[in-house]
């Protein structure tokens, strides 16, 4: 649960930064809430991200971490988390950022949706600010004016932060790509969350800023449909849908769809990048036109207050931890303070962790799907895969052989000698293509076993009894997923 506080290992200070609590831990870095101390009792809360000690000497991870640091230090925009500095404390690299009091948008939309206190206009306003921040990153230039061609590559509700004053911030440029990056993504490595990934990114092709706009399009789709786009679909299913370009149509899942929002959603989710918006600013202007057309003016401060009330319990817990730790820091020496266990606050502030999708709109908790919403089914759930056909054929052939043997015993027929030139009529009849059924959740195959050919006289060990008039049995094998 957000705001849960547990004990962790003790942590020493890093220069002027004294850790107060651990906020999150990913595969590459750990994020701490810390107090920056100075002369005359100066103290300021900050967040710093520290590269894992065991990775500090690995050139690949060190380059990735420093790439993020260099890029983050260059980004200066109201809708991007502010980076103060990059510090090196005895070989331990830190990225020091502003402390944001609030919650990730993934948690905000879940909590407010459950309370029925989140409407489309609120979410459109969040996306407008998100696009503003992304455009600033996309347009970033080097000191000589050369475009850096920044792509965030991990745009999702988890990496959009909403403060208790209603500010919206893009966070975690940990896997962002720029032309100045020294680290290179290895072939076969996909970075980002598949559930918010553009087709070209999912398949390792060249990407640009329009891949980020596809992710924003998914967030808009989910706001309109009140559910996750890839609900209950495994990664293989998502990859297959992306490969076919059959992106779920918002018109099939959203009720009372506004034509402007429909147009924005369809264009931003185009399978081919050239069919999407060229810039985040262009997409942002269309969303603003929706708010203006309906005279909607969502108040950021009121929205922030609403978020604060929804997370009042978590906010109180975090504040209590900060106050207790600050008291300890002011009364204990640095050595004595470091000997105390550092509390662990389970709240994603700027963790840099990539939470896997779980399929539902309420992936961080209980389900809050729209009533009667039907699931999106991957094409391979509608059509039989080759491997399924192979298994079905094998089962049918095996059952056919067993039935024939049993029937032969009943009729007193001796085993038939195998012939290298005998045609396999039974097998060819079984593997004939079967069209897909209308139901995506179950497939049914009904195969009639053809009657056996009349055996040759020289192969008969004893007289054949008169065959029964009973028709050949029919096998009805059903598979459900």
Q: Comparing C-alpha atoms, which of 30, 18, 41 is closest to residue 337?
A: 18
Instruction: Name the phi and psi angles at 353, rounded to 5.
Output: -90, 150
Instruction: Name the phi and psi angles at 460, rounded to 5.
Output: -95, 125
Contact 292, 146 (CB under 8 A): no
Active site residue 154: yes
**How deeply is 421 buried, as exposed, middle or buried, from its count of CB atoms within 10 A (0-12, 13-18, 19+)?**
exposed
Contact 1, 80 (CB under 8 A): no
Rounded CA separation 349/372 (Å): 34
Contact 291, 125 (CB under 8 A): yes
- Phi/psi zone of residue 370: left (φ > 0), alpha (ψ -120 to 50 degrees), beta? beta
Rounded CA separation 265/154 (Å): 19
Which of helix, strand or coil describes residue 52?
coil
Residue of 154, 167, 172, 212 marked active site: 154
Contact 3, 292 (CB under 8 A): no
Which of helix, strand or coil describes residue 106?
helix
Contact 317, 347 (CB under 8 A): no
Contacts for 460-467: CB closer than 8 Å, 24+ residues apart: 460/413, 460/414, 461/414, 462/412, 462/414, 463/412, 464/411, 464/412, 464/413, 465/411, 465/412, 467/411
Q: Comparing C-alpha atoms, which of 26, 20, 24 is closest to residue 4?
A: 24
Compute the C-alpha angle 243/247/250, nearest 5°. 175
* CA 319 to chain centroid: 31
**How deeply is 155 buried, as exposed, middle or buried, from its count of CB atoms within 10 A (0-12, 13-18, 19+)?**
buried
Task: Give me the count of residues in the chain.
Answer: 481
Which residues are designated catalytic?
154
């Amino acid at each position: 649960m957000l705001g849960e506080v547990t004990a962790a290992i003790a942590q020493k200070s890093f220069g002027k930064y004294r850790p107060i609590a651990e906020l999150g831990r990913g595969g590459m870095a750990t994020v701490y809430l810390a107090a920056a101390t100075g002369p005359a009792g100066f103290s300021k809360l900050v967040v710093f991200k520290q590269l894992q000690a065991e990775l500090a000497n690995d050139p690949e991870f060190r380059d990735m971490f420093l790439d993020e640091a260099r890029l983050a230090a260059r980004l200066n925009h109201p809708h991007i988390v502010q980076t103060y500095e990059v510090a090196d404390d005895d070989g331990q690299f830190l990225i020091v950022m502003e402390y944001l009091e609030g919650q990730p948008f993934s948690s905000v939309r879940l909590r407010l949706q459950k309370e029925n206190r989140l409407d489309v206009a609120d979410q459109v306003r969040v996306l407008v600010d998100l696009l503003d921040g992304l455009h600033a990153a996309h347009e970033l230039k080097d000191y000589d004016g050369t475009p850096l061609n920044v792509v965030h590559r991990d745009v999702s509700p988890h990496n959009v932060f909403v403060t208790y004053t209603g500010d919206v911030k893009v966070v975690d440029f940990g896997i962002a790509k720029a032309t100045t990056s020294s680290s290179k993504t290895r072939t076969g490595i996909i970075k980002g969350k598949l559930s918010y990934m553009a087709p070209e990114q999912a398949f390792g092709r060249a990407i640009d800023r329009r891949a980020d706009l596809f992710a924003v399009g998914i967030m808009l789709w989910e706001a309109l449909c009140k559910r996750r786009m890839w609900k209950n679909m495994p990664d293989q299913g998502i990859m297959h849908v992306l490969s076919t370009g059959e992106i779920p149509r918002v018109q099939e899942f959203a009720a009372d769809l506004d034509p402007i929002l429909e147009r924005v959603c369809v264009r931003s989710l185009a399978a081919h990048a050239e069919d999407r918006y060229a810039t985040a600013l262009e997409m942002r202007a269309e969303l603003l036109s929706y708010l203006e057309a309906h005279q909607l003016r969502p108040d950021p401060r009121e929205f922030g207050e609403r978020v604060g009330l929804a997370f009042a319990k978590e906010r109180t817990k975090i504040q209590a931890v900060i106050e207790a730790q600050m008291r300890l820091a002011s009364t204990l020496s640095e050595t004595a303070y470091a000997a105390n266990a550092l509390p662990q606050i389970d709240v994603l502030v700027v963790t840099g962790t990539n939470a896997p999708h779980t399929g539902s709109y309420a992936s961080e908790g209980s389900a809050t799907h729209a009533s009667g919403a039907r699931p999106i089914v991957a094409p391979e759930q509608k059509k039989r895969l080759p491997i399924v056909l192979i298994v079905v054929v094998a089962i049918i052939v095996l059952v056919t052989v067993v039935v024939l043997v049993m029937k032969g015993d009943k009729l007193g027929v001796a085993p038939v000698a195998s012939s290298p030139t005998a045609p396999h009529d039974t097998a060819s009849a079984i593997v004939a293509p079967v069209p897909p059924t209308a139901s995506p959740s179950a497939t049914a195959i009904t195969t009639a076993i053809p009657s056996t050919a009349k055996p040759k006289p020289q192969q008969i060990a004893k007289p054949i009894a008169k065959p029964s008039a009973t028709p050949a049995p029919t096998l009805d094998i059903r598979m459900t997923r």
